[in-house]
Amino acid sequence: MSRYKNILVAFDGSDSSKNALKQILKLAKEENFRATAVTVLKTGDNEADITRAKNAKEASRMPGEAIVTNSVKLVIKEDGDEVQMILEEGVVHKAIIDVAEKRSCDLVVMGRRSLTRVERALSGSFSAQVIRYSPLDVLVMQKTTSLGWRSTLLATDGSKFSKVAARRALEIAQEHGGELKVISVVDTADSFLNEVPGSIDRMREHARENIESVKQMAKPFDIKVEGFIRVGHPHQEIVKLAKELKVDVLCMGTHGRTGLNRLIMGSVTEQVIEDALCSVLVVKA
């Protein structure tokens, strides 16, 4: 992970965040990068909520302090090393991003927390909010996955954001002697397009061009690229192929801090994160 030298792990006490912390600390020893963990005590997103939180500061800090204390014990017990823990208060995703920027981090790592249908409809996950607003790459990990880079699946739609993700995926594959698989999906979710004569064939050709573009990018890296074209709903086909290939990590690109058009609630990125069995690296342009 030489591309990432200063990593921030968002820790909330969940099984997935514990696993993320363990995996990052293990890798930090092997590859000599700096890792820091942050726990955020949640307050509201408006002035009234923040005022109430300040008035009850001591009471509100107790659960967060307990999480930090327990996590330090976990690290010492299982990894034989300590990690710097930071305790913050505020709106969770804003506080995480603020700490990452102030400490000049280049990657944010989060555990994936499954949401109920109501939670997803109302606000989405913290990981989705961090991804939406963070200028940094974000790695989302499941509670049972190990962090490996030998096999990577890149999802591309041919956009400039996908090309940034492709370069990152190639760098990782080259560094770890791994292989790169690439998927481009012919999106059949739009029923109108399906009724236009020849539209599916044109979209297939576009998908083929997307994969060929990555293969051309891979030549200077001396990385073998295997391409896959799938037809269907993008997030379903991406997750399905990642499972079939048993990849270590799934890599996707998305807009930067203010580019929200392709990362809204229910978007491909969030749905992939919710359903994927492997870690998901979201690369920011």
47 with 63, same domain: the answer is yes
Q: What total number of domains does the chain contain?
A: 2
Residues 60 and 126 in one domain: yes
Please indicate, yes or no, whether residues 2 and 141 belong to a single structural domain of this protein. yes
Same domain, 142 and 161: no
Do 59 and 178 lie in one domain? The reply is no
Entry field: residues in the chain: 285
Among residues of the chain, what percentage have pLDDT more than 70?
74
**CB-CB contact of 9 with 109 (8 Å):** yes
Q: Taking each helix axis as running N to C, give the angle between helix 160-175 and helix 199-218, from 0 to 180 degrees, rounded to the nearest 10.
A: 40
Percent of the chain with pLDDT over 90: 42
Domain boundary among the residues 146, 180, 204 is at 146
| 221 and 211 both lie in a single domain | yes
User: Are residues 126 and 3 part of one domain?
Assistant: yes
Higher pLDDT, 188 or 206: 206
In this structure, are 108 and 163 located in the same domain? no
pLDDT tens for 47-67 read: 554 444 445 445 555 566 666
Of 42-51, 221-230, 248-257, the range with the lowest mean pLDDT is 42-51
Which residues, at least 6 apart from 26, have a Cβ–Cβ distance to it below 8 Å? 79, 147
> In the listed set 146, 171, 206, which residue is the last one of a domain according to the structure?
146
pTM equals 0.84
Examine the pLDDT at 119 and tell me if it is beyond 50.
Answer: no
Q: What is the DSSP string of the chain?
A: -TT-SEEEEE--SSHHHHHHHHHHHHHHHHHT-EEEEEEEEE--SSHHHHHHHHHTHHHHHHHHHHHHHHHHHHHHHHHSS--EEEEEEE-HHHHHHHHHHHTT-SEEEEE-----HHHHHHT--HHHHHHHH-SSEEEEE-SS-----SEEEEE--SSHHHHHHHHHHHHHHHHTT-EEEEEEEEE---HHHHHSTTHHHHHHHHHHHHHHHHHHHHGGGT--EEEEEEEE-HHHHHHHHHHHHT-SEEEEEE--TT--TTSSTT-HHHHHHHH-SSEEEEEE-
d(CA 219, CA 201): 28
Residues 124 and 164 in one domain: no
User: What pLDDT digit, counting tens, does each position of 157-180 carry?
Assistant: 998 999 999 999 999 999 888 889
Final residue in a domain of this structure, among 89, 124, 146: 146
Distance CA 145, CA 198 (A): 42
Residues 66 and 142 in one domain: yes
Q: Tokens for 68?
A: 């930090």
pLDDT tens, position by position, 88-109: 888 999 999 999 999 999 999 9
- Does residue 14 share a domain with residue 85? yes
CA distance 81 to 74: 10
Domain that holds residue 211: 148-285
Both 139 and 185 in one domain: the answer is no
- Output the domain CATH number for residue 44: 3.40.50.620
Q: What is the pLDDT of residue 69?
A: 62
**pLDDT mean over 117-139:** 71
